[in-house]
Structure 1
Amino acid sequence: MTAQSQAAAARADDVWKVYGTGEAGVTALRGVSLSVGRGRFTAIMGPSGSGKSTLMHCLAGLDTVTRGEVFVGDTRVSGLGDKALTRLRRDKIGFIFQQFNLLPTLTAEENIRLPLDIAGRKADPQWWDTVIATVGLADRLRHRPAQLSGGQQQRVACARALVGRPEVIFADEPTGNLDSRSGAEVLGFLRDSVRAHGQTIVMVTHDPVAASYADRVVFLADGALVSELDDPTAEDVLDTMKHLDVLVGAA
C-alpha cells in the first residue's frame, strides 16, 4: 500500500466517465485525479454539467468509471461485484442527500438506526450519545419526519450517516432544500463532526457559503479538475467560480 493510499479516505486516479457511445457519447469526467484526506471536509464545486455529482457518485461506488481507478480507503472500488459494492457502501460509506430520504413511518431514532439494523449491527452506546448530542436531537427522537422541520430532518439524516462510523460520508447538496438558518446548522454539524470526531466528509454544493465551511474546495469545469482552495472564504470561492472559464482555457 502506498503512503498516498494510507493517507486518503477516498481517491480517484485518472478517472474518465463517458455516457453513451460514438457521436452520442458525453464525457462527464476527463482524467480526474483527486485524493480526499482522512479527517477532512472537502467540497466539490463547479457549474451545472461540470461533472461534480458524477465524480461523487464514482467515488462512492454508485456509478462505474469508464477508465481509471477509484479507492475507498485501501479498497479498490472499480471492478467490485454487486455484493462487494453493497458491503462497501453499507460498512464504509455514509450518504446525505438533498431530499433527506427518511422513511415517513419510522421515528427519528428508528431512521437513524436503520443502516445498522440492516447490517445486523448495534450502535456503540457512547458514540450514539455523542452523535445525538452533536446534532441536538435528544428531544426529537420519538418524532416522525412529518413532525420535524426541514433542518431537523436533515440533522436526522446526518446522524444516520454518522452513527455507523463510516470511513467517508458523501453529501450531495445537503442544504439545497433548507433555509439559510437551517442550512447553517447542518453545515456547522458537519464541520464539527470533522473537527471534533475526525469524520471525513465530501460534499457537492453550488453554494459558496456552504463551501466555506469546508477545509478544502476543489473546482470542476467541463469534467476536469481545474482549481482548488484551502481554508476558503465564501468570497474566495465566489471569485474562483467567476473565473472558471479562464482556468479551463489554461488547463
Structure 2
Amino acid sequence: MTTAVTNSRHDLAGGHAAVAARARQVVKAYGAGETRVVALDGVDVDIMAGQFTAIMGPSGSGKSTLMHCLAGLDTVTSGEIRLADTEITGLKDKKLTRLRRDRVGFIFQSYNLLPTLNAIENITLPMDIAGRKPAREWLERVVETVGLAGRLKHRPTELSGGQQQRVAVARALAARPEIIFGDEPTGNLDSRAGAEILGFLRASVDDLGQTMVMVTHDPVAASYADRVLYLADGSVVDEMRSPSADQVFDRMKDFDGRGRTS
C-alpha cells in the first residue's frame, strides 16, 4: 500500500511535496524456521517532506520497527529504504553512520543528555563531535522555537523533565537534518509538558520547514500530526489526515484485542 498523498494542512509550494523517506516492499523478520517472526510484511510507504507524520498501532504491530528501518537504525530483511534520493538499504556501516549523523535527527523517550554539559553544550554536542559549527542564526531560531533562551546555561539536573526534552528537541533540530524521528518523545512527560513538546514539534514543521516522523500510542499526540499511519500485523492498514484526538482514539479502538482490522 503506497500512501503518497498531498497533505491539506501543510502543502509545499506548487502542491507537490517531495518525498523525505520511502519504503518499498520492506520485510523485516527475526529468527528462522518455526521461530521466524515477521515484524514488517511488505510495507510500502512515503513520508512527505515538510510534514508531520505519526505512526500508530497496537503493541507488536511493527510501528517502532518501521521507524528504525526508515531511520537507518535497523536493517531490513528485504525491500528498499530511501532517504530522499539515497538508497540506504545497501550502505556499509561507515557510510550509514555518516548519513545518520549528517542528515537525520532523533528524539527519544529518554532524553539522553550528558549531565556534565549545560543545555547549549548538549544541543551542539553532535555537531561538535562531527567537527561542524552550528549556523548561529539557525541555532537562535531553534532555541527560540523551543523556548529555551533563559535556560541555556543550566545543566540537566537543574531542568525539569519537560525542559530536558526541549533540549533534546533542540539538539535534533540544531544540525538542520532532512528528517527527524521521534520514538514516543512525550512518553516520560506529564500532559502539560507533553503538550508543550508537541507544540514545539508542530512549530518546527510549520515555522522551520522540518520533516517529522513520530511513533506514538497517544491519540492526543497523534492529533498534532498532518497524517497518521496505522500499522497492524506488520502492514500499513489505514491512514488519517489532520485528525482530532477523538478521531484517532475511535480508530485505535478498532485494533484493541483484534490485531488487523477488517
TM more than 0.5: yes
Gaps of 5+ in 2: 5-16
Map Cα deviations across residues 48-84 of structure 1 (whole Å, 9 max, x no partner). Answer: 1110000000000000000100011111010110110
**Aligned counterpart for 2:229 among listed residues 212, 218, 240:** 218
Residue equivalent to 1:75: 86
**Any idea what the Cα deviations from partners look like across 1:8-56, whole Å, max 9, x if unmatched?**
1111111110011111111000111110000000000001111000000
Alpha-carbon separation, structure 2, partners of 1:82 and 1:247: 35
Asked if structure 2 preserves the Cα contact closer than 8 Å seen for 1:226 and 1:247, the reply is no
Contact 1:167/1:200 (8 A) holds in 2: yes
Match of 2:134 in 1: 123
Distance 2:170 2:50 in 1: 17
Aligned to 1:89: 100
Cα distance change on mapping 1:192 and 1:249 into 2, 3 Å: closer
Cα distance in 1 for residues equivalent to 2:121 and 2:41:
41
Contact (CA 8 Å) 2:54, 2:214: kept in 1 or not? yes
User: What corresponds to 1:242 in structure 2?
Assistant: 253
**Aligned Cα RMSD in Å?**
1.3
SS in 1 for 2:172: helix
From 152, 156, 172, give the equivalent of 2:183.
Answer: 172
1:22 maps to 33
| Matched letter for residue 248 of structure 1 | R
Distance 1:226 1:89 in 2: 28
- Answer 1 or 2: which has greater helix percent: 1
State the number of aligned residues.
246
**Distance of 1:206 and 1:247 partners within structure 2:** 15
Measured after TM superposition, the shift of residue 244 of structure 1 is 3.1
Q: Deviations over 1:129-173 (max 9, x none)?
A: 100111111111111111100000000000000011100000000
Identity of aligned residues (%): 67
Amino acid of the structure 1 residue aligned with 2:234: G
TM-score (norm 1): 0.96
Quote the Cα distance in structure 1 between the aligned partners of 2:132 and 2:223: 35
Shift of residue 243 of structure 1?
1.5
Distance 1:232 1:91 in 2: 32
Q: Does 2:51 align with 1:40?
A: yes
Q: Which residue of 2 aligns with 1:227?
A: 238
Cα drift, residue 248 of structure 1: 2.4
Name which of structure 1's ranges 240-249 and 100-109 shifts more when overlaid on structure 2.
240-249
1:248 aligned counterpart, secondary structure: coil
Unaligned runs of 5+ in 1: none
Corresponding letter in the other structure for 1:199: Q
Structure 1 runs (4+) greater than 4 angstroms displaced? none
8 A Cα contact 1:227 1:247, kept in partner: no
